[in-house]
Amino acid sequence: MTIRVLIADDQGMVRTGFTVFLSTQPDIEVVGEAANGAEAVARVAELRPDVVLMDVRMPVMDGLEATRKITEGADPAPKVLILTTFDLDDYVYEALRAGASGFLLKDASAQQLAEAVRVVASGEALLAPSVTRRLIAEFARVGPHRPRGRLDDITERETEVLALIARGRSNQEIAEELVLSEQTVKTHVGRILAKLNLRDRAQAIVYAYETGLVRPGG
């Protein structure tokens, strides 16, 4: 199955470079580009990509607002992979709340870029250790928020799985820790997302911290 990608960045050279990188991958197709957030929203509605590579700082509409509009407006919504530099780490928390599924440094290699697209397209969260540290620090600073669902809606086992997701564990690692099959873990993850009305693992991570299920440093 080919992953359809839209690239949103106000720098033409960045868009061209990413397009060239991704076009070498047999399972990825770049279906369009956008030079600002408003254009990205319009292009998503027109092209219906699976993944959007989204810069944060763009004219007309920034990447955070564009991410919010895209993830709320499209059904099904594409996964949004935020393009960032180290000095943009302040946007991590807000971007996740806006609906982003992960973050990628702009100086990533061609292979890292392609793998990042595949990871978020599959429904996984892409959070580098440096980004995760920043996210946890932000949760520690702002404290819990009112979540969109209730922990009472999921089972005790699903709660255990959710806590491990929030700590960055993969399905395989969760399976090993809880002595379950990987397929059983996938089933639990799917039920967690459905019951709590969460789009993907990135939102599940946010939810776990917002409810206090997992605490920074815990």
pLDDT digits (tens, 9 = 90+) for 59-96: 899 988 999 999 886 677 899 998 877 555 567 777 77
Span 124-131, average pLDDT: 63
Q: What stretch of H or E contains 184? A: helix 182-195
Share of the chain above pLDDT 90, in %: 40
Residues near 180 by Cβ (< 8 Å), separated by ≥ 6? 174, 188
**The pLDDT value given to residue 150:** 76
Burial of 112: CB neighbours in 10 Å, binned 0-12, 13-18, 19+: middle
Q: Which residue in the block uniquely carries the two structure tokens 């499209």?
A: 74
The rounded distance, in Å, linking the Cα atoms of 182 and 94 is 31
Give Cα separations from 191 to 11, 58, 151, 177 (angstroms).
40, 36, 13, 19
Average pLDDT in the chain: 83
Which H/E stretch holds residue 142?
helix 129-142
Q: What is the mean pLDDT of residues 129-145?
A: 57
Q: Please give the average per-residue pLDDT across 36-63, as a whole number.
A: 93
Please say if the pLDDT value at position 205 is more than 70: yes
pLDDT surpassing 70 at residue 54: yes
Position 50 pLDDT exceeds 90: yes
Q: d(Cα 74, Cα 99) in Å, to the nearest integer?
A: 12
Q: What tokens were used for 197? A: 């009305």
pLDDT reported for residue 136 = 58
**pLDDT exceeds cutoff 80 at 138:** no
Under the banding of pLDDT at 50, 70 and 90, the label for residue 43 is very high
Q: What is the pLDDT of residues 142-193, one digit of tens each?
A: 555 555 557 788 999 999 999 998 887 888 889 999 999 999 999 999 999 8
pLDDT classification of 5: cutoffs 50, 70, 90? very high
DSSP at 78? P
Mean pLDDT of 21-37: 94
Neighbours of 136 (CB within 10 A): 21
Q: Tell me, what's the pLDDT at 90?
A: 62
Cα separation, 179 vs 127, whole angstroms:
25
Query: Measured between alpha carbons, how far is 114 from 76 in angstroms, rounded to an integer?
Result: 22
Cα separation, 51 vs 68, whole angstroms: 14
What are the tokens at 160? 């255990």
> pLDDT band at 120, cuts 50/70/90?
confident
Q: Which residues are registered as beta bridge partners of 82? A: 54, 103
